[in-house]
Structures are given as C-alpha cells and as structure tokens.
Amino acid sequence: MLNIIRHGASSDARPLLIAHGLFGSARNWGAIAKRLSDTREVLAVDMRNHAGSFHDPLHDYPAMAQDLAQVIAGEGRAVDVLGHSMGGKAVMMLALSRPELVNRLIVADIAPVAYPHSQSHLIAAMRGLDLTGLSARSEADRRLAQSIDDAPVRAFLLQSLDLKASPPVWRLNFEALERQMDLITGWPDVSALPPFEGPALFLAGGLSDYVQADARGAIKALFPAAYIARIPGAGHWLHAEKPREFEAAIRTFLDN
C-alpha cells in the first residue's frame, strides 16, 4: 500500500486524502496538511514510484486510482480527496471509477484532458546530476543549475534527493516515469464511466496555463457539479505560491 503521512486525529469530520503531483511527495504538503488537520484527520500519501511508496513498472491513472482506493478502504468510510497535477488526475479517475469512496473532490490546477508537454527533460536533468561526494543540498542545487535554470523548480526536485543515503539516491522510479510520460501527461478514455455527481472544486492558478477556458467543457461533462475558481497571482504550484489563499478556498469548500 502507499506510504501515508497522517496529520491530526480522527474526528467526526471526514478525513482528507491528499495526492501530490509528478516528482512530488507527501512531505511537500506538510504545512498545509498540518493546518487543515485542526478540524479533521489529513492523510498525505506518496504516490507509486515516488518517495516512500513502492516502485512498479505500471504508472497510469487507473492504477493510481486503485492505490488511492486501497488507502480509503482501510479508513472504512468515504473521504474528501484533494489532488494536484498528476495527483489531480488520479483523484479524478478515483471519483469516476469508485464514486462511493469520494465525498468531496478537489482538483488543483489540472483538467481531465491530455497535455502536449513532457517533463522528460527534468528526468534527464536529475539522472544526469553528478552525485559523487555530494552531501549538501546547496551543492546539489549548484550542480543541478547547470541543466535547470529555474531555482524554485530545482528546490522542488531536490526534495526527492536522499542525501542521507550513501551514496545519495533519488527517491523516484525514473524508468517507469519516463517510459510512461505520455500516460502521465495524457488522460485515459473514460467514456464508459458515468459522471461524478458529487461536489467538486477545480482550483487553478491565475497565472497558470494548465486549466484553459476550453477545458471547462471537459470538466463539466465529467463533473457536472464542479465549481471552477482561480487564485490570482498563483502559478501551477498554487498551494506553495499562495498557501493561505489556497487553504482558505479548501476550507470554504469542505465546510459548506
């Protein structure tokens, strides 16, 4: 089963399950998960082929949805779910395929559509990082800067580098992720599945291009009760760039 980091204690409120995006981990969501756990238990998971969870040759959305279903089954009741980017597509697939497990659905900066971009260049940069004699994250950042200019992106990726291991290792299954990148950036055929009729919030970054106006039709077709909103000034990593605004939107949706 997926590795789970729990925050807060069990209560009458439904638990919130958080699924991170590509190259992320449950730890990335620690600050927000802790704050949201003041009223409910929050379960942040490491997705397959990431961080503390198992490695598997398969990395598609039906498989990821099944992983999440297994976690929820262990809780013994339906939960609220939140997913960002790749995790957002995974929770969408979960809601469509196993609606009885999902109470409320929150999708952060992604739509149920295929995207033309690839993240394989980031895999190449990580795989190409010289790990020889590496012990400090600052030195890892300096070396990674030779292939990735964006400092926030480097900081995000380096959270998956285990510097305590000897030698240091990436906690990502590069082989599976690279081989199935088209599946990760794509979206499976869900025409045989009925729409998810439950409450849904699609929260996008105002500066992000991941949820375009023409994606609204695809969202509404599969999630007819969806409310679509944007956080001004936020990009794709809206929860990291505007954490207070993101948290406030989540609380409002979950508490209504």
The catalytic residues are 85, 175, 236
Report d(CA 207, CA 200) in Å as an integer. Answer: 22
Nearest-10 crossing angle of helices 120-127, 151-158: 70
**CB-based contacts of 132, cutoff 8 Å, min separation 6:** 167
Question: What is the rounded CA–CA span in Å between residue 154 and residue 41?
Answer: 31
In DSSP terms, 44 is beta-bridged to 5, 18
What are the φ and ψ backbone dihedral angles of 14, each rounded to 5 degrees? -65, 140
What DSSP string runs through 186-236? S----TTSPPP-S-EEEEEETT-SSS-GGGHHHHHHH-TTEEEEEETT--S
The string over 70-109, giving b where at least 16 C-beta atoms fall within 10 Å of a residue's C-beta and e elsewhere, is ebbeeeeebbbbbbbbbbbbbbbbbbbbbbebbbbbbbbb
Q: How far apart are CA 97 and CA 76, in angstroms?
A: 18
